[in-house]
Amino acid sequence: MTDKAKVYLSDLHFEHNQWLSELKFWDEEINSFTKRLEEVVERYNDNEIRAKIEHFQNRFLLNHQAINKQIKEVNKHEKILARYAEHHMSTLENTPVHDHASLRELMQVQRAMYAELKSEYYSFLTKNI
């Protein structure tokens, strides 16, 4: 392990908790967006708008699935850290562990995808409602 990659278990645990909160918030927000679309679809008969509504419903479903997958990955990594902590209890405070850079990258991708979806959704609502 290089000096650049020194990370402690408590740091990774903190980051996991932060990510889980963020992911759960997004999931709840998607549920609210979906309910809003259900209200909107009742008001419009225009095929073009209905197609856009269906597009967002599909994207919300895909994003919901991606969020659930990411939650599972974070929880899986948290369990690995917990097992590591059980076996190395006496040295945890002073021993750096390998960073979870790949998981962090996945979160950054998910964050960007969600921000783009939310922006497009709000733009759609602004133009059509």
SS3 94: coil
Q: How many domains does the chain have?
A: 1
pTM for the whole structure:
0.83
Contact 122, 37 (CB under 8 A): no
Over residues 78-120, the pLDDT tens digits come to: 998 888 878 776 666 666 667 788 899 999 999 999 999 999 9
Band of pLDDT at residue 24, cut at 50, 70 and 90: very high
Range of the domain at 27: 3-128
- Is residue 24 within 8 Å of residue 113, measured between CB atoms? no
What amino acid occupies position 128?
N
Cβ(67)–Cβ(107) under 8 Å? no
- Which pLDDT does position 87 carry in this prediction? 76
Total residues belonging to the chain: 129
- CB count, 10 Å around CB of 95? 13
Over residues 43-79, the pLDDT tens digits come to: 888 899 999 999 999 999 999 999 999 999 999 999 9
